[in-house]
Structure 1
Amino acid sequence: MFTEYDPEAGALTRELRDHFDAFVAGEWDAARLKAHQTRRLRQVVTYVRAKSPFYRERLADLTDDEVSALGIDDLRILPFTTKEDLRKAQLDILSLPVSQAWIFYETTGTTGVATPCPRTNSDSIHNNSVLTAYYRDVLARYGHHQVIGVSGPTELHATGDTFGDVCRNLGHGVAKMWPHSPLVGFDRALELMRSLPLTGLFCTPGMAMSLAQKAVAAGFDPKRDFSLDILMLTGELMSPSLLRNIGQVWGAEARNCLYASQEASVLAAATADGALRTAPLINHYEVIEPEGTEPVAPDADGVRCGELVVTNLYTGAKPLIRYRTGDLVRMTDPDPEATVPAPALEAVGRVRDRLRLNGRLVDGYDLEDLLLRRFRGCLDYQITVDQDALGTDILSLTLQAGPEGDHSDALEDAVEDCRRELDTPLTVTSGSPGPITSTGAMVSWKAARVVDLRAESSIENTSAERIAAARAR
C-alpha cells in the first residue's frame, strides 16, 4: 500500500516487474544484459563516490572520465570491499543516512562487531522483485492461496519482512513465528503449524530439524500430523543429502530457496527447475581465487569454483562494490532448459569452514553431502574430527534418529563411501548432538556441526556454545 503514497516507489515496482517478467521469459539477450549492467555499474560507482564516506576515500584515485568509461570487464581496477571493511566503517559505509531508509537491520554480531544494514524502498523493491519473479512458479505448484510460515533469527534481521512481502506479492497468507522467542516458543509454533494449517515454511535447515525434534518429542509424526507441502530453506549450508533428509522427515519438498546475506542482500534464489540462480539484473558476480585476487577459469565441465565477489547494481542505503563474501561457490552458466536464463549457483561453505582431512582440503558442502548420503529421516547430526595414534585423521558421525528409526542397513555403505572418497575412517553412532547444531545460521556451519578435536577453540566455537547454552535453558 505504501507505493500509493510514494509514486516513485510505485513506478520502480512496475518497471522492475516488467524487466523481470521479460528476463525470465528469455527476452534479454547477452548484449542487452551487458548494456544494462554497464549502465548500472557506472551509476552505482558515481553514487557511492558522492554519498558514502567510505567509498569517497576508497575510490578517491578514480577520475570522472574513468567512471564514465567504466565497463563490466574493467571491474579489476576497483578495489575489493571486505567484511572487515564493513566492521570498521560502520555507518560510514552507507550512502544515505538511516533516516532515509524505511527500516534498519544489522548483522547478528555473534562473531564480530555487528554492521548496519538499513534498507530503502529501492533496496527492498529490487531484491523482492527477484524473489517474486523466481518463486512464483516454485510455490504455484502447491496452490495459489497458501498459508506460509516464516521463522527468522532475530527481529533485526530481514527474513520476516522479505519473505512476508514476497508471499503477499504472490497472494499467500503469512504467519511470522519465532520459535526461539520466549513469547512464542516451540510448543506454540507447532500448534500454529497444525491448526492453521501451514502448507509452507521459510526457515533454516537447523530450524526445520529443531521443529521436527520438538514435534516427535510431543508425540507427533511430522509427516502425518502436519500439512507442509514445501520447506523453503535458507541461512545455512545445504547439501543435496541434507535437503533429501529434511524432506523425508516432513514428507514435503525441501528446497534451498535463497543465497543471500544481510550485507549484500539477495544474491541467488530458487527457480522452478530446481536450481538456485543468480540475479544478474541487480548484481554483478565474479568468482576469484579464494586465497588471491585473480578470476578463476571454468573447469572442463564449465563450472567456476572459488570465492564469490558481488557488486550491487542498484542505488540505495548501502550498495557494495566488489564485496568479497568469504563464501566458496560453484557457478555454472545456464543451459537451454533453465527456467530462468541466469547462472546456477551452489554455495559450498565459507572459505574458513574448509577442513583438511589426511592431506585433502574438503568443503563443508561436500563433506555433509557425503556423510549423509546413505541416511534418511534423521532429526539431527554432528561430525567429530580426531586423529588416531598414528596421526591419521578419523571421522565420527553422530545421528539422531527420527520416527523411522534404525539406520543400520546404511552403515557399511557410508563407511565405505568415506574411505573411498576421502581416504578417511568413519564411525557412525546414535545420539543427540544437543542445541549447538541450531546455531549454524547465527555463527557458522563449522561451529555448529563440527567438533574438531585437532584444533584449538575459535571465536566461532565460543559464540556457538554461548548461544546453545542460552537455548538449552
Structure 2
Amino acid sequence: MFTQYDPESAALTDELRGLFDEFGKGKWTADELETHQTAKLRTVLAYVRANSPFYRAKLNGISDETLAGLHVSDIRNLPFTTKADLQQAQFDMLSLPVSDAWTFYETTGTTGKPTPCPRTNGDTIHNNTVLTAYYQDIFAQHGNRQVIGISGPTELHATGDTFGDVCRNLGHAVAKMWPHSPVIGFDRALEVLRLLPVTGLFCTPGMALRLAQKAVEAGLDPRRDFSLDLLMLTGELMSPSLRDNIGALWGAEAHNCLYASQEASVLAAATSDGTLRIAPLINHYEVIDPGTGEPVAPDPDGVRYGELVVTNLYTGAKPLIRYRTGDLVRMTEAGPGAAVPAPALEPVGRVRDRLGLNGHLVNGYDLENLLLRRFRGYLDYQITVTRDDAGTDLLSLTLNADPDRHWGDDIERAVADCREELDTALSVAFGDPGPITSTGAMVSWKAARVVDLRDPGAGTSVESRSAERIAGARA
C-alpha cells in the first residue's frame, strides 16, 4: 500500500493504529486523554501560528508563552473560527501550500463562495484511521466477502477517496458510482448494484430513497431484487425514523455512519452499538450556547445540547481552532457497553434550520423524527408549514407512498403525536415532492425538505434558490 513507499506515512499509520487500538479497548484513562489533547493542542497552536496567515493574525494578541503553556481546559480563552472566516480567508487559512498536499478538495459553494480543503497524507491517515477503527466491527458482522458501493460525488470531494480507502483497509472490494453523473445515471447504477452484486452501500439518505424510488419505477423490489445487507448513510440530516424506514425499504441494516465536513473532516463515526461517537484522539470538542458562545452544562440526563465547536489536534494542510460548525448536537458521555469509550453525538440540524411552531422552537432532527415515527415504506417525504387566519401554525406531511395502502391508524397516531408534542395540527397527503428533496446534502435539510409558506420571502433565500437550481438540473 501507499504508506509503505513513504516512511513518514508508514510510521504515522503504525502509530495511530496502535493508539486507536488501545483507546478502543478502554486502556486510556481520563488523565491520559487530557494529557494527550493538551500536548497536541500546543503543537497545533504553534504550527498554525507559524504557518497560517489567518491564524498568525488571529492569535497575534496572545503571547508565545501563553500558547505554549495552554492547557486543553483553557481552550475557551482562544477566539472562535467561523464559516465566514473560512470564506473570507480562503487560502490564507491554510498552513501549507497546496503543493504540499496529496489532494485538493473544496466545499460545494452552492450557498456561498467555495473554500479550499486540501489534505496532506497526515490529514488523511488521521481521519481514515478513525473510520477504519470504528467501522471494523460493523462490517465484521456481515462477513469478509463484500462488495461495497460508494454513491457520492468525486469531483473536488472527499467521499469516494475516503470511503474507498477505508474499505480497502478493511479488505472489501469497492465500486464507485455517482448516479447523478451523466456517465452512470440511475439505470446503470441499479444494474451494477444487482450485477456484482453490491452487499453494502455508502450514500446519503436522499440517495438511498431515490435509488429505491427508481428501482420501484423499473418494476423492481429493493428488498427482493438486490443484495444489500448494509447501508452506511451520511451527508445530510437523518433522524432514527428516517434511518429505520430506509433500512426497511432495502431490507438492510442501516447506520448513520459519519458526521463530518469538508472543512473540519471526520468529527464522529458509527460504531457497532448503533451510535455516532466522537474521535477525541484527533479532535477536541465543545458544546456551546449558539447565542452567547458560553459552554453548555449537561442536563439532568447528562446530555449537552448546543452548537458544536471543534479543534483539530493534528497538523496538516488546514487545522482549525475552535471552529463553530453551525450545527446543533446532543453529546452524551460514554456509558457501560459503549463500543468505543467516547461520547455519543447526535447532530440534530443547523442552528439556522430550526422552526418556530406555535411557541415551540424545534430542530430538524426532532421534527423529522416526530412526523415520520409512525410510517414505514415511503419513498420520499416533504413538510409544508402554513398559518391560518387566527395566526396558528399548521403542518402538512407529504409522503411518496402507495395511497391505497391502509394508512389510517398510522396517520391517526402521527396527528396525535404532533398535537401532543408541538401543539400543532398535522395533515398527511400522498404525492411525489420531486427532485428538490435530493438536494439536502448539497444545500440544507430545510431548503430540501421544508416548504414554509408563512414567510413570502423564504423561497427567495440563497439556499432555496440553490436547491431549486440543483433540483431543476436533476429533473
Q: What is the TM-score when the length of structure 2 is the normalising length?
A: 0.98
Partner of 2:277: 277
Moved over 2 A (4+): 402-409
Distance 1:416 1:221, change over 3 A: same
CA distance in 2, matches of 1:275, 1:28: 20
Distance 1:148 1:440, change over 3 A: same
1:338-353 residue pairs with structure 2 within 5 A? 338-353=338-353
Deviation at 1:292, TM superposition (A): 1.6
CA distance in 2, matches of 1:333, 1:225: 41
1:174-193 residue pairs with structure 2 within 5 A? 174-193=174-193
Deviation at 1:145, TM superposition (A): 2.3
CA distance in 2, matches of 1:165, 1:214: 29
CA distance in 2, matches of 1:166, 1:349: 26
Q: Does 1:467 align with 2:470?
A: yes
Partner of 1:140: 140
SS in 2 for 1:377: coil
- CA-atom RMSD in angstroms: 1.0
Q: Which amino acid aligns with 1:279?
A: A
CA distance in 2, matches of 1:403, 1:200: 30
CA distance in 1, matches of 2:71, 2:355: 38
1:101-140 residue pairs with structure 2 within 5 A? 101-140=101-140
Deviation at 1:5, TM superposition (A): 1.8
For residues 418-462 of structure 1, give each alpha carbon's deviation from its aligned partner in whole angstroms, at most 9, with x where no partner exists: 111100000000000000000000000000000000122211100
Deviation at 1:252, TM superposition (A): 0.6
Partner of 2:263: 263
Q: Does 1:400 align with 2:403?
A: no
Partner of 2:389: 389
Partner of 1:241: 241
Greater shift, 1-10 or 34-43, is seen at 1-10
* Contact kept? 1:153, 1:442, Cα under 8 Å: no
CA distance in 2, matches of 1:394, 1:377: 25
For residues 77-131 of structure 1, give each alpha carbon's deviation from its aligned partner in whole angstroms, at most 9, with x where no partner exists: 1100000000000000000000000000000000000000000000000000000
Partner of 2:163: 163
Deviation at 1:156, TM superposition (A): 1.2
Deviation at 1:31, TM superposition (A): 0.8
CA distance in 1, matches of 2:408, 2:225: 27
CA distance in 2, matches of 1:283, 1:406: 48
* Contact kept? 2:400, 2:432, Cα under 8 Å: yes
Q: What is the TM-score when the length of structure 1 is the normalising length?
A: 0.99
1:219-238 residue pairs with structure 2 within 5 A? 219-238=219-238
Distance 1:38 1:403, change over 3 A: farther
Partner of 2:374: 374
Q: Which amino acid aligns with 1:228?
A: L
SS in 2 for 1:117: strand
Which runs of 5 or more structure 2 residues have no equivalent in the other structure? none
CA distance in 2, matches of 1:274, 1:309: 23
* Contact kept? 1:153, 1:441, Cα under 8 Å: no
Deviation at 1:153, TM superposition (A): 3.2
SS in 1 for 2:315: coil
Deviation at 1:407, TM superposition (A): 2.5
For residues 273-320 of structure 1, give each alpha carbon's deviation from its aligned partner in whole angstroms, at most 9, with x where no partner exists: 111000000000000001121000000000000000000000000000
Q: Quick one: percent identity of the two aligned structures? A: 74
Partner of 2:454: 454
For residues 167-218 of structure 1, give each alpha carbon's deviation from its aligned partner in whole angstroms, at most 9, with x where no partner exists: 0000000000000000000000000000100100000000000000000000
For residues 52-100 of structure 1, give each alpha carbon's deviation from its aligned partner in whole angstroms, at most 9, with x where no partner exists: 0000000011111101110111111110000000000000000000000
Partner of 1:6: 6
Partner of 2:315: 315
Partner of 2:202: 202
* Contact kept? 2:204, 2:234, Cα under 8 Å: yes
CA distance in 1, matches of 2:140, 2:148: 13
CA distance in 1, matches of 2:305, 2:227: 38
CA distance in 2, matches of 1:131, 1:404: 43
For residues 12-53 of structure 1, give each alpha carbon's deviation from its aligned partner in whole angstroms, at most 9, with x where no partner exists: 000000000000000111011000000000000000000000
SS in 2 for 1:374: coil
Distance 1:197 1:297, change over 3 A: same
* Contact kept? 2:54, 2:89, Cα under 8 Å: yes
Deviation at 1:408, TM superposition (A): 2.9
Which runs of 5 or more structure 1 residues have no equivalent in the other structure? none
Deviation at 1:4, TM superposition (A): 2.0
- Give the aligned length: 472
Greater shift, 154-163 or 442-451, is seen at 154-163
CA distance in 1, matches of 2:403, 2:10: 49
Deviation at 1:402, TM superposition (A): 5.9
For residues 309-364 of structure 1, give each alpha carbon's deviation from its aligned partner in whole angstroms, at most 9, with x where no partner exists: 00000000000000000000000000021010000000000000000001110010
Distance 1:154 1:466, change over 3 A: farther
Distance 1:296 1:404, change over 3 A: farther
Q: Does 1:327 align with 2:327?
A: yes
Q: Which amino acid aligns with 2:469?
A: R
* Contact kept? 2:153, 2:160, Cα under 8 Å: no
Partner of 2:356: 356
1:66-77 residue pairs with structure 2 within 5 A? 66-77=66-77
